[in-house]
Amino acid sequence: MPINHLLLTRQAYSPSRRKERREPIHPFSTAFLLIARWIERTRQRHALAELEDHMLRDIGITRVETTCECRKPFWR
């Protein structure tokens, strides 16, 4: 692949580029997305709590950090 295809254009990732306007999201959709996020966060924390110590070392966190994360309420 030529190097030209690997280079990113400055315009595509410029912080000064305007953000596109989005349509407002329906309140029920917002509530659904929020609840889905809470459920996913709870699922991930349960999975994290079940990891063994050697697995936690592999991902670079301690049992204490895991315990602190798992004690957080689902909305945080």
Domain interval for residue 73: 26-76
The model's pTM: 0.62
Indicate the number of domains in the chain.
Answer: 1
Q: What pLDDT is stored for residue 7 in this prediction?
A: 47
In three-state secondary structure terms, 72 is coil
Q: What pLDDT is stored for residue 20 in this prediction?
A: 75
5, part of any domain: no
Q: What pLDDT is stored for residue 26 in this prediction?
A: 86
16, part of any domain: no
pLDDT digits (tens, 9 = 90+) for 25-64: 888 999 999 999 999 999 999 999 999 999 999 999 999 9
Distance CA 34, CA 21 (A): 21
Q: What pLDDT is stored for residue 1 in this prediction?
A: 45
2, part of any domain: no
Distance CA 28, CA 40 (A): 18
Q: What pLDDT is stored for residue 33 in this prediction?
A: 95
